[in-house]
Amino acid sequence: MDTGRAVLGVSAAGALVLAVGLGIVIAPGHALATDPDRGAACGSYPDGTTTAAAWFMVEFDNASDRGVRVVDVRVDDVEGADVTPLAVALDPGDTGSGLWVTDDPVAPSEYGRTVPLRDGVTVPAHGKLDVVGRMVVRPGASAGHVRGFTATSSGPLWTTHTVTLDRSFNVGIGGEQHGAAIGCGPDFGDDDPDDAA
């Protein structure tokens, strides 16, 4: 009787270890993916402008045959600007990543319908997750940037997987900004603040 319990106990423990092992193997296969190419977009307002702002959007792909549950999205580096709001849109169309240099506080219609990421969102199989935000250059600063976007998804058995998209967006006042740090070159002037850079 005791031998039977011991064998059963070892079998149950072995099954748990196997299940955990399978979970760790399976989880990365159902995570979001990003474009491996690094990219940056920059724009500027004319000299003498007192405020500068822009909307940005980056895109994550779900290349798997199953939905991926995203539980967190964050901007990794923000300098000289405030970011608000940060929202998501599921497969809104073919817009792709980009920067809209505008001081309009209303999100561009190209983004489609966005929602806050409160309790997580499921990206459908072969779908896309767009992350949208507005950056406003802080008072006294001549430029601001956001760089790097990390999405965290949940997997089986409480596993998580993070993926980072190496994209940068910069907006400033005047044509001589220090955009080289994010791949935009030393001079990225844009005379029309309503044009996407």
pLDDT tens digit sequence for 120-144 = 899 999 889 999 999 999 998 889 9
pLDDT tens digit sequence for 133-177 = 999 999 988 899 999 999 999 888 888 999 999 999 999 988 665
Residue 151 near residue 129 (C-beta atoms within 8 A): yes
Residue 138 near residue 79 (C-beta atoms within 8 A): no
* C-alpha distances in Å from residue 190, one per residue of 8, 43, 80, 176: 71, 5, 19, 11
pLDDT, residue 118, reads 85
* C-alpha distances in Å from residue 141, one per residue of 76, 85, 104, 132, 151: 20, 20, 19, 23, 29
CB atoms within 10 A of CB 50: 8
- Predicted confidence band of residue 111 (pLDDT cuts 50, 70, 90): confident
Contacts of 125 by beta carbon, 8 Å cutoff, 6+ apart:
62, 64, 65, 66, 67
The conformation of residue 193, written as its DSSP 8-state character, comes to T
* C-alpha distances in Å from residue 127, one per residue of 17, 26, 78, 122: 32, 19, 28, 10
- Domain 31-182, second-level architecture: Sandwich (2.60)
The conformation of residue 47, written as its DSSP 8-state character, comes to T
pLDDT tens digit sequence for 72-107 = 999 999 999 999 889 998 866 556 788 999 999 998
Average pLDDT, the chain: 77
pLDDT higher for 152 or 20?
152
Task: Name the percent of the chain lying above pLDDT 90.
Answer: 37
Nearest-CA neighbor of 157 among 19, 42, 39?
19
- Predicted confidence band of residue 26 (pLDDT cuts 50, 70, 90): very low
pLDDT, residue 34, reads 81
Paired strand residues for 190 = none
pLDDT, residue 108, reads 87
E-strand stretches of the chain: 39-45, 53-61, 68-79, 81-90, 98-100, 115-116, 121-123, 128-137, 143-154, 160-173
Query: What does the domain layout of the chain look like in residue ranges?
Result: 31-182
Average pLDDT, stretch 29-52?
A: 81
Identify the burial level of 107 via C-beta atoms within 10 angstroms of its C-beta, where 0-12 means exposed, 13-18 middle and 19 or more buried. Answer: buried
pLDDT, residue 29, reads 47
